[in-house]
A and B are shown apart, each in its own frame.
Chain A
Amino acid sequence: MIQVRAFCAAVISLFAVLMFAPAAQADFASSLARFAQDEFSETALAIDEIAASGDSRAQQVLEALGSARLFVDPASKKVYWRAATSARTIHDAANGEPVVDPPAGLQVVRINNRLRGATLNAIGALTLMAPDPARRRAAAESIFKSRDASALAPLEAAIKVEKDPSIATLFAQARAVLMLAAPQATKDQQLEAISILRMRADIGAIAALRSTNASADADVKALAADAVTAIEARLKLMSHVQNVWYGLSLGSVLLLAAIGLAITFGVMGVINMAHGEMVMLGAYTTFVVQEVFRAYAPDWFDWSLPVALPLAFLFTGLVGIAIERGVIRFLYGRPLETLLATWGVSLILQQAVRTIFGPSNREVGAPSYMSGAFDLFGLSVTWGRMWIIVFTLFVFVSLLLALKHTSLGLHMRAVTQNRRMASAMGIRTPWVDAMTFGLGSGLAGIAGVALSQIDNVSPNLGQSYIIDSFMVVVFGGVGNLWGTLVSAFALGVANKFLEPVAGAVLAKIFILVLLILFIQKRPRGLFALKGRAVEA
């Protein structure tokens, strides 16, 4: 089957070559026809030809190819592309006109990584002078990465007309990369290239400097090596900053997971083994909300997280209140027994989710503002992680304020400090208990919304956080929110500094051992509640 196809392809391409051999440049239509072969080698030729054709239709076709929007009609062998913005409109690739009634059974033109790279390069060369600055930026980056020598000419042309200084720098850097790799570049050009790359001072620059052409002058090579050392020294320094950042990010995840537990366990004394499942329910709420968005308002998908947050809080809060009313209220004063009952609750919740949503992972997408990364003084910061840190701190501050300045917060503190006195003062303690547990569960729920962005959304989600959460709360000191904050960030940062040295597994073991030893020193955690009572 494959052989037959290959044979046909060979015949057709031979035929094509024969037909157009006299022409210096293959014409656009025949290049398009190569896509219909469904052969990677043919597609590669087509990309090169189209990129070199200088045709005004080239960019549309190549972009469609790169993002799997280029189609072939197997019957007529005609090529079509779909517009990036609308899912419906199909254009004829030969003339760019929209087709009213596209043929059925269109098949996507398949590409592999090599062709995808080639397509990106070609697009890069074509879009160097695009009016949109973002596209010019992307074009420069793609040339920088690919080191495709053929892009030099369009790049030189683009440098001459570029007005935006930041983009001009990018172009210069891209040009520097090409100069370094090119065998025909002069020594001066290469020395200049090295100094430009040295200014850029990132991993990409190192890669470019390392791939200096082997035939280059010895001085050039020495200078390039020198630049690499300099950049590496700088990056080494940065790696400590990066570790702190990663640590803060891990810490924020720990804090987020633990903060609800700091209420249910820390404040109320319930050993809430179902806490992890509340986080999981929050993540599944996000999934459901996103499904609704996907079905009814795909254009508003970015709003799915802001919508999911309050819903997750409400839903898990209500589940928490139901658990408190149904189970936990009978167990006050018997904290260890809450462990057993909530363990039972957690088994039931896990299996319930497994029954309803199935045992496999569910897809929770990242809105645009949660994806990608930006560069902060050479530190690559991912948006998702950054928003999670910001969000965690926001939740923490709101919780502190709520406990300090609302009447529910006042009642909560009163009830946990002296239940009978609070009751005597007219506080409805059962109601406050339910609300407190609901609050803790709700916080777990919104943690689930955030964690759905970085972890699996599966029935096992909660299990992976429950132990860490308990460690965080206990390390910080039960009943102390600030302690929880400090402990989460301390554990996160310590873990991230140990990880490059000891590896991920040993780092975690060290942290646990340190925690055990620390508790010997301070048996009530970092910030023990001060009091006169000898023991609880």
Chain B
Amino acid sequence: MMPNWGVCMSINFVRRGVLAGMASAAMMLTVGAPAIAQETIKVGILHSLSGTMAISETTLKDVMLMLIEEQNKKGGVLGRKLEAVVVDPASNWPLFAEKARELITQHKVAAVFGCWTSVSRKSVLPVFKELNNILFYPVQYEGEESERNVFYTGAAPNQQAIPAVDYLMSKDGGDVKRWVLAGTDYVYPRTTNRILEAYLKAKGVASEDIMINYTPFGHSDWQTIVSNVKKFGSAGKKTAVVSTINGDANVPFYKELANQGVKATDIPVVAFSVGEEELAGVDTSNLVGHLAAWNYFQSVKNPANAEFIAKWQAFTKNPKRVTNDPMEAHVVGFNMWIKAIEKAGTTDPDKVISALPGIEAPNLTGGMSKMLPNHHITKPVMIGEIRADGQFDVVWQTKGLVAGDAWSDFLEGSKDLEADWVGKKCGNFNTKTNKCGS
């Protein structure tokens, strides 16, 4: 939290009597800042720093701190400095809601960047609606949601799962005919697998060529499941595993795969929740060739990305620190927010919310991501193969950017729904009844 002290000090200067005020004014004039110092713009950071999710979320807090520091070096926004307010919701879902309320009502933040799990987002959702504030949510998720106060900078299922399956069905991906959909038993895998099942069947895959398996959170004994996968893969058709296994359970899963000798050339595993950060805990030499689908990889060669990685490693004082997809989502989301504030000329949530759709910000893979009227963004989709050094080789990537679709076209209840906060002013417009909601 060191970086913020400087900011706080500058406010205190102003608040102290005339003498100090004059001194600070003089100081500010010399550095060319506006003569009238204003209050800082507060940015809420709502990521777990303890508990089970700290493993993933702490990094995002650090990224936000870095982005805010960077922005302040550039002079802040609207002539005001940004100030980070960090809270720890401790991987406890009701605490997320409480902390969100605290950030908005007590600290008067202009926007909040946070959450990782779907349940934490669901928990804070009513708070953001009630108190009318903005949440930037940076993680890939199951879709089926579009709220006025939330901006989804992670991937929707059509920006991750479906392209990945397409790739595996192609000749380069191995011409896969048989599918194992393995996931942790919660909403994201359930929905993704349902979408994929419908999609695969539409592509002519028979039901007996699809195996679906769910495991509890933090599952650590994968012997039975891996051997079942091997058995399933022995039907004489090329088999692949589509894994929506949640963070913690992945390391033992991959260790078991490696131990039982499941090589990527035999049965490739494509994962949607395994990135550079997760692989930092695994010896990847036996996992070379297994895949992941993301919208960003650290290994993407691009000046913007190289600059970001360098800054990040300098900020964390660790030359080995890796970057990952949700971090990039925060970078894009943060830049979009800054642009929206500049466009709206204020941090007033209503104005910023209506300014955001249409805003474009460069992503770190060389494209220009755009905030859509459904509050999702456009992203490239990339398939990466695990390398021996824990990084990914991008082996395939979509031609252009893919627009995030809040409501899946492959699900019964949601294919008629459409989110449009600009034209229709609602997140669940039903194209059949031509009404919002039912």
Which positions in A face B, CB cutoff 8 Å? Answer: 40, 67-68, 110, 112-114, 116-117, 120, 145, 203-204, 206-211, 235, 242-243, 246, 249-250, 253, 350-351, 354, 358-366, 371-373, 380, 382-385, 453-460, 463-464, 496, 499-500, 503-505, 508
Contacts and interface: CB of A to CB of B under 8 A. Distances in A.
A372 B261 contact: yes
Nearest to B255: A454
Interface string B287-319: 011010000000000000000000000000000
Nearest to A118: B265
Contact of A113 (B233, B277, B289): B289
Contact of A351 (B50, B260, B261): B50
Contact of B214 (A210, A364, A459, A503): A503
Q: Say whether chain A's binding surface is mostly helix, strand, loop, or mixed.
A: helix
Contact of B259 (A371, A460, A463): A371
Interface in B207-229: 213-216, 218-221, 223-225, 227-228
A496 B220 CA distance: 13
B416 interface: no
Contacts of B286: 371
Contacts of B412: none
A457 B281 contact: yes
Given A116-B265, A454-B220, A40 B172 contact: yes
B70 interface: no
Contacts of B264: 113, 116
A291 B4 CA distance: 34
A113 B385 contact: yes
Contacts of B256: 382, 454
A488 B74 CA distance: 60
A236 to B, nearest CB: 10
Interface of B: 49-52, 54-56, 58-59, 171-174, 185, 213-216, 218-221, 223-225, 227-228, 230-231, 233-237, 248, 251-252, 255-256, 258-261, 264-266, 268, 277-278, 280-283, 286, 288-289, 291, 385, 387-388, 390, 393, 395-396
Contacts of A499: 224
Given A117-B174, A207-B234, A458-B248, 7 more contacts: A112-B289, A116-B264, A116-B265, A253-B221, A361-B282, A373-B259, A454-B220
Contacts of B258: 366, 371
A351 B88 CA distance: 13
B281 A504 contact: no
A362 B281 contact: yes
Given A40-B395, A210-B235, A504-B215, A246 B59 contact: no
A249 B223 CA distance: 9
B252 A500 contact: no
A77 to B, nearest CB: 18
Given A455-B251, A456-B252, A456-B281, A496 B224 contact: yes
A460 B55 contact: yes
Nearest to A351: B50
A455 B252 contact: yes
Contact of A112 (B224, B233, B385): B385
Contacts of A246: 221, 223-224, 227
Most buried by A among B214, B248, B255: B255
A361 B251 contact: yes
Contacts of B283: 363-366
Contacts of B171: 114
Contacts of A242: 227
Contacts of A453: 255
A380 B227 contact: yes
Contacts of B185: 505
18 contacts: A203-B234, A206-B236, A207-B234, A211-B237, A250-B221, A358-B58, A360-B55, A361-B281, A373-B260, A380-B227, A382-B259, A385-B223, A454-B255, A460-B51, A463-B52, A496-B224, A504-B225, A508-B216
A504 B236 contact: no
Nearest to A350: B50
A460 B286 CA distance: 25
A455 B234 contact: no
A531 B251 CA distance: 46
Nearest to B283: A365
Contacts of A361: 55, 251, 278, 280-282
Contacts of B172: 40, 112, 114
B216 A505 contact: yes
Given A207-B236, A210-B236, A453-B255, A112 B260 contact: no
Contacts of A384: 255, 259
B265 A117 contact: yes
Most buried by B among A67, A116, A351, A383: A116
A503 B213 CA distance: 8
The 4 residue pairs across chains A and B that have the minimum distance between CB atoms: A361-B281, A210-B236, A211-B236, A203-B234
Contacts of A373: 259-261
Given A113-B264, A116-B265, A207-B236, A464 B227 contact: no
Nearest to A380: B260
A358 B318 CA distance: 12
Contacts of B173: 113-114
B277 A360 contact: yes
Contacts of B223: 246, 249-250, 385, 496
A145 B56 CA distance: 38
Contact of B174 (A114, A145, A211, A459): A114
B393 A110 contact: yes
Contacts of B219: 504
A384 B226 CA distance: 15
Contacts of B281: 360-363, 456-458
Contacts of B278: 361
Nearest to A458: B55
Contact of A207 (B218, B235, B268, B393): B235
B233 to A, nearest CB: 8
Given A113-B264, A457-B281, A372 B259 contact: yes
A114 to B, nearest CB: 6
A281 to B, nearest CB: 17
A219 to B, nearest CB: 19
Contacts of B54: 354, 359, 459
A145 B234 CA distance: 10
A145 B259 contact: no
Contacts of A382: 256, 259-260
A205 to B, nearest CB: 9
B260 A363 contact: no
A519 B37 CA distance: 69
Contacts of A504: 214-216, 219, 224-225
B174 A500 contact: no
Most buried by B among A113, A364, A459, A464: A113
Contact of B265 (A120, A204, A207, A208): A120
Contacts of B396: 112
B365 to A, nearest CB: 12
A114 B280 CA distance: 25
Contacts of A500: 224, 228
Nearest to B225: A504
B280 to A, nearest CB: 6
A360 B251 contact: no
A499 B228 CA distance: 11
Contacts of B52: 460, 463
Given A113-B268, A114-B174, A383 B259 contact: yes
